[in-house]
């Protein structure tokens, strides 16, 4: 564990206040049965105590199964002020009662919702977290411009049509949020904001190392990475592929990911998009 990047083993009082905000973005990183990274939007992520991370479940999804098979998780929580905290935790247990269960179901989002509420609360033991950091917006804007240049210099090279037109356009929107994850040496999903990422073609993503470059350079070539893209309208998509390493173009550094998997994590039904899953007839009712 990088103790310089993640120096805190407890949440402070201010951490707990900030993390309890109802309007925020929460990303949970899990490890799937194949040992690959998976990212999920969990807006209910917060601190229950100085040593506990908690989140409320109101829909089904594969991340809830992942934590039962592998307790190592990563998380990132970003507030409306564009500052964030990220870290690691070990999954512990779930319950459908208690003070946190009551807290979630008495928030305006769930208390007045006619269709669903939080039906299960999950608890994780905090391992370490970064503390509060602002997004380096100046660097991100410059990195996004550099990424556009890198796209023009690198050229298209797709062999497979992995991204459909909607997904490709979604990743190309500069104001959409994007997060990269990979499994670090300790077996935890590391989460890095890579908002500058864009599609190189329908099979690759490209991103400048102008923001978070030092962290991105720690990822070795041929590592499997996941990219979670989301808009503030709550649209999102998850892709996964192989990090092809760092390229130098016109004196700038770029990372390229060759994609091979796309997953729709939005309600009403999370489902794999690519490779396409054959439809099966329902024969038993």
**Strands annotated E in the chain:** 24-31, 37-41, 46-49, 52-57, 72-79, 83-95, 120-129, 133-134, 177-183, 189-193, 198-199, 204-208, 224-230, 236-249, 252-264, 271-274
Residues 6+ apart with CB under 8 A from 171: 163, 178, 197, 198, 199, 205, 227, 229, 237
Higher pLDDT, 53 or 58: 53
DSSP H helical ranges for 1-136 = 13-19, 62-69, 99-105, 108-111
In this structure, what token pair is assigned to residue 151?
A: 């796209």
CB 255 within 8 Å of CB 227: no
What is the C-alpha end-to-end distance of the chain, expressed in Å? 49
| Residue 111 pLDDT > 60 | no
How big is the CA angle at 102 (ends 46 and 113), to the nearest 5 degrees? 90
103 backbone dihedrals φ, ψ, rounded to 5° = -60, -50
| pLDDT at site 269 | 74
Q: Quick one: pLDDT band at residue 105, thresholds 50, 70, 90?
A: confident
Q: Is 13-133's fold the same as 136-271's?
A: yes
120-159 pLDDT, tens per residue? Answer: 889 999 999 999 999 999 999 999 999 999 999 987 789 9
| pLDDT at site 13 | 96
Residues 6+ apart with CB under 8 A from 260: 160, 162, 240, 241, 242, 274, 275
Q: Count the residues in the chain.
A: 285
Domain 13-133 is classified in which CATH homologous superfamily? Electron Transport, Fmn-binding Protein; Chain A (2.30.110.10)
Using a pLDDT cut of 70, give the percent of the chain over it. 95
Higher pLDDT, 117 or 45: 45
Residues 75-114, buried b or exposed e (16+ Cβ, 10 A)?
Answer: bbbbeeeeebbbbbbebeeeeeeeebbebbbebebbeeee
| pLDDT at site 23 | 87
DSSP element (H, E) containing 152: helix 137-154
154-203 pLDDT, tens per residue? Answer: 877 899 999 999 999 999 999 999 999 999 999 999 999 999 999 999 99
At the topology level, CATH places domain 136-271 in Pnp Oxidase; Chain A (2.30.110)
| pLDDT at site 112 | 55
Domain ranges of the chain: 13-133, 136-271
Q: Quick one: pLDDT band at residue 114, thresholds 50, 70, 90?
A: very low
223-254 pLDDT, tens per residue? Answer: 999 999 999 888 999 999 999 999 999 899 99
Q: For residue 128, what are the β-bridge partners?
A: 88
């Amino acid at each position: 564990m990088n103790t310089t990047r993640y120096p805190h083993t407890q949440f402070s009082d201010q951490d707990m206040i900030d993390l309890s905000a109802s309007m925020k973005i929460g990303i949970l990183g899990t490890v799937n049965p194949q040992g690959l990274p998976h990212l999920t939007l969990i807006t209910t992520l917060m601190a229950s105590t100085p040593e506990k991370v908690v989140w409320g479940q109101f829909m089904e999804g594969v991340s809830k199964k992942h934590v039962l098979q592998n307790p190592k998780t990563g998380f990132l929580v970003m507030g409306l002020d564009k500052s964030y905290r990220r870290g690691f935790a070990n999954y512990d247990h779930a319950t459908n009662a208690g003070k946190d269960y009551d807290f979630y179901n008495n928030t305006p989002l769930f208390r007045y919702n006619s269709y669903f509420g939080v039906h299960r609360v999950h608890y994780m033991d905090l391992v370490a977290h970064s503390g509060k950091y602002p997004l380096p917006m100046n660097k991100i804007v410059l990195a996004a411009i550099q990424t556009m240049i890198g796209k023009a210099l690198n050229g298209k090279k797709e062999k497979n049509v992995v991204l459909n037109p909607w997904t490709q356009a979604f990743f190309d929107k500069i104001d959409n949020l994007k997060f990269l994850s990979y499994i670090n040496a300790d077996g935890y999903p590391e989460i890095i904001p890579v908002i500058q990422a864009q599609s190189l073609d329908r099979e690759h993503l490209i991103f400048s190392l102008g923001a978070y470059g030092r962290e991105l350079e720690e990822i070795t070539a041929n590592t499997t990475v996941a990219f979670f893209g989301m808009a503030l309208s709550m649209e999102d998509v998850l892709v996964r592929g192989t990090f092809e390493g760092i390229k130098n173009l016109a004196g700038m550094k770029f990372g390229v990911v060759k994609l091979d998997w796309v997953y729709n994590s939005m309600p009403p039904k999370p489902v794999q998009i690519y490779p396409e899953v054959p439809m099966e007839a329902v024969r038993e009712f």
